[in-house]
Amino acid sequence: MSFKVMEKTEVRLVFLGAAGVGKTALIQRFLKDTFEPKHHRTVEELHRKEYEVGGVKVTINIMDTSGSYSFPAMRKLSIQNSDAFALVYAVDDPESLEAVKSLREEILEVKEDKYTPIVVIGNKIDRHNERQVSSEDVLSTVELDWNHSFLESSAKDNINVMEVFRELLQQAKLPSRLSPALCRRRETFPKEINKHPRINKTNSCHIS
């Protein structure tokens, strides 16, 4: 008689970026499929989500950090203890992109590894008329110069939110057998409208 051993896999993601770029909005859209238009200042919040498939249990820890950068010690600790990073800027705020560049340098310095899993996210693409940051320029810098992944998203319109988390989990190297659970999770969200082309190159729910 054989017994199936329950495996436990845990991963920690951290969202970093300037204040007001939509870090919390992206996380809440992923976890609860809700959107709060009013900005609330975040100090540091840890969210936990568990999935189970095929006898495998995975815990996703998502750290939502302050955009004010008034807590450098907390931010450094978050960087040290995390597996993958989401660097978020707003496409209508060029200064928030500069913050992403500084944060990336800090991550590489703390982790001491230029191959650290990082996904750069241009949020608020629903603000078509206010856009000030070109996706082509950022894509070139992020993928060619930095060798990171790049997506554009809208927490408000639920565009590419699941793709953001799927890319982060792929880079955190979750085992491929967990992919069915993540695909089912994706199906619980409203279908996306294809009028916004995807920027990233990931086209599958498979986690490698």
User: CA torsion sign, 204 to 59 to 192 to 65?
Assistant: negative
pLDDT 10s digits, 153-191: 999 999 999 999 989 988 887 654 454 445 544 444 333
User: CA torsion sign, 176 to 178 to 181 to 186?
Assistant: negative
Report how far apart, in Å, the C-alpha atoms of 87 and of each of 26, 63, 84, 178, 191 are: 12, 12, 10, 25, 25
205 within some domain: no
120 within some domain: yes
194 within some domain: no
Looking at residue 127, the DSSP 8-state letter turns out to be -
Q: What angle do CA 109, 151, 30 make, to 5 degrees?
A: 95
What tokens does 122 get? 């241009």
Token look-up 């340098």 returns 105
193 within some domain: no
Q: Is 184 helix (H, G, I), strand (E, B) or coil?
A: helix
- The CATH number linked to 163 is 3.40.50.300
Write down the pTM of the prediction: 0.78
203 within some domain: no
Report how far apart, in Å, the C-alpha atoms of 125 and of each of 56, 65, 155, 188 are: 36, 22, 9, 22
Which residues form the domain of 181? 7-187
Low-confidence ranges of the chain (pLDDT < 50): 2-3, 5-6, 176-177, 179-181, 184-208
Q: Which amino acid is at 148?
A: H
CB 107 within 8 A of CB 14: no
Q: Please give the pLDDT value at position 53.
A: 59
CB 153 within 8 A of CB 88: no
199 within some domain: no
Q: Please give the pLDDT value at position 29.
A: 93
When divided into structural domains, the chain yields a total of 1
Q: Is 150 helix (H, G, I), strand (E, B) or coil?
A: strand
204 within some domain: no
Q: Please give the pLDDT value at position 104.
A: 96
208 within some domain: no
Q: Please give the pLDDT value at position 207.
A: 35
